[in-house]
A = this chain, B = another copy of it.
């Protein structure tokens, strides 16, 4: 095998390019006694190859340990089978199920999903975008909507299918699967109002979508005549993103110091809500009798907290699945039935509110 491998390389060493020393499609072809394009077909369109040829080529692939070079393949076919997801931090539990569903759906369709982090506040976003486009993915999935005008232009110019997720906008770049954060705030306001709460406060992380949930709540509260019960604006505590148990505790402490009469808190994440619940307990304020607490995310600990957290649930897997379908359909030249989908949300009522 030593003599065979690399033999094809010897006769084209004219102006000395050094190659990688690794197995190429030509080596496999030589060993199987076929043309390189046949090996390519075995890999990419096995149905178009005769059974016996298929067998021989596959054996040659195994014997040589050949791993295709997708750089070369992508260059030749402008089809990379790569999809890039742009995420704030890879470790946000809220998005986890979405990334899982994305990964799985893409994997089943033969695509590889890679993740790039922008950091909180979208610091490196534009650079990351160029780095992604430079690899010519077949699709791009964004967390939230793209606000940077430069980013939008780059994406449109690149001509790559794009799905924005976990948010809603009348002007998506391309496709979108998400829901309205403002409406969540409204729904929470109405819920708390219906439970007789009139002195509502907010603990929110300093993050765009969280702020918009808080804004929806503020607006709806005003409409329901709640805001004026306390002050012109709802009492609010803003914590650094991402929200932590500690900032939830601090938030509730702070709000109680400023407004001892509050009877409900809407937290921008379940972690903040857990912190609020723990702080209330440490102060021997009963939840929900003293303060009602509502979270967001319905994370895996929400149901097991003490008391269990009332929270807003979003169908993360559905977002991932639908977003992947959008990209796959477009990448394969099909038309996308629903390029903009609002998956909505639901309020999960538990003991904390």
Contacts and interface: CB of A to CB of B under 8 A. Distances in A.
Given A114-B115, A116-B114, A67 B301 contact: no
A281 B306 CA distance: 9
Interface in A64-110: 65, 67-72, 74-75, 78, 80, 82, 84, 87, 89-93, 95-96, 99-100, 103, 107
Contacts of A20: 78
A214 B115 CA distance: 32
Given A71-B74, A75-B71, A305-B278, A244 B300 contact: yes
Given A71-B136, A78-B20, A96-B90, A246 B304 contact: yes
A305 to B, nearest CB: 7
A35 interface: no
Contacts of A119: 100
A159 interface: yes
Given A68-B134, A245-B304, 18 more contacts: A20-B78, A65-B154, A65-B157, A67-B133, A67-B134, A71-B74, A84-B114, A90-B91, A91-B92, A91-B93, A99-B117, A100-B117, A107-B124, A107-B127, A112-B116, A114-B114, A244-B301, A274-B301
